[in-house]
Amino acid sequence: MDIVIIGSGNVATVVGRKIRAAGHHIIQVFSRQKERASLLASLLEAEPINSFDEIKKTDLILLAVPDNAYGPLITKMPFTDAFLLHTAGSLPLDMLRSKSARYGVLYPLQTLRQELDTIPGFPLLIDANDEENLLELEKFAAGLSKTVIRAKDKTRLKYHLAAVIVSNFTNHLFALAEDYCRKEEISFSLLQPLIEETVHRLETNSAAGLQTGPAVRNDTNTMEKHRLLLKKYPELLPLYNQLSRSIRRRAM
């Protein structure tokens, strides 16, 4: 299939590499900044463009821009014969209806960063405007991922929220712990086996049953010592208290 990618960031890069590895031909990469279009285009052996007038006839157009940018971008886009897809978990399918008779969603349920050497596996949540297009999208997506699931707007949004909790929020806690370790001159990397084990256990057990730590045991003296240490960390202290309360409530 001939494909045009709109965007040159994380999803455009990672999904673009997957698409290419699946044997498709990425003909053009659009980015508002020509240099950014050129960087990704050279990786994908495509033509860089920064104007919609330059888009060539193609089978599929994949949009991968920030959620807030879709509205204004779509308004400016010309109508197309191509199968038009967006990649956002939180945005509705019908957002694309005014720009193509064939449109859909290809949402990768994964945290993607363009600088990654190895592309992680990811489920793809898909939808399209009719059954024929959904079948075509299913076939295309199956070339990119072993796990392809049909998901309507409401379901996709629920997955998106769950993804924010398990990935974005935990990563933020890692970032805060990293800062804390640096300031206290202890090693964050010494915690790596603990981080890995915590995630690894989820493969075979329910998270709720795996909870350990002072909050679940109600070790109030230990928690008081932690709170004293956290007096210097105004961002961490309220999080510590709120999460401890939540763990405690879940355990009762």
Ligand X SMILES: NC(=O)c1ccc[n+]([C@@H]2O[C@H](COP(=O)([O-])OP(=O)(O)OC[C@H]3O[C@@H](n4cnc5c(N)ncnc54)[C@H](OP(=O)(O)O)[C@@H]3O)[C@@H](O)[C@H]2O)c1
| Site for ligand X, rule CB under 6 A | 7-12, 31-33, 36, 64-67, 69, 73, 87-89, 107-108, 111-112
Nearer to ligand X, 104 or 240 (CB): 104
Report, in Å, the least distance between residue 8 CB and ligand X: 4
Report, in Å, the least distance between residue 120 CB and ligand X: 10
Report, in Å, the least distance between residue 2 CB and ligand X: 20
Nearer to ligand X, 98 or 171 (CB): 171
Nearer to ligand X, 70 or 83 (CB): 70
End-to-end CA distance of the chain: 55
Report, in Å, the least distance between residue 53 CB and ligand X: 15
Question: What is the phi/psi pair of residue 244, to 5°?
Answer: -65, -40
Report, in Å, the least distance between residue 132 CB and ligand X: 25
Q: Are strands 47-49 and 25-30 parallel, antiparallel or unpaired?
A: parallel
Rounded to whole angstroms, what are the CA distances from 98 to 84, 85, 113, 170?
Answer: 11, 13, 30, 38
Three-class SS of residue 20?
Answer: helix
Decide if 70 contacts 48 (C-beta within 8 A): no
Decide if 30 contacts 155 (C-beta within 8 A): no
Total count of residues recorded for the chain: 252
Nearer to ligand X, 67 or 196 (CB): 67
Whose CB is nearest to ligand X? 9
Q: Rounded to whole angstroms, how far apart are CA atoms 195 and 117?
A: 22
Nearer to ligand X, 162 or 251 (CB): 162
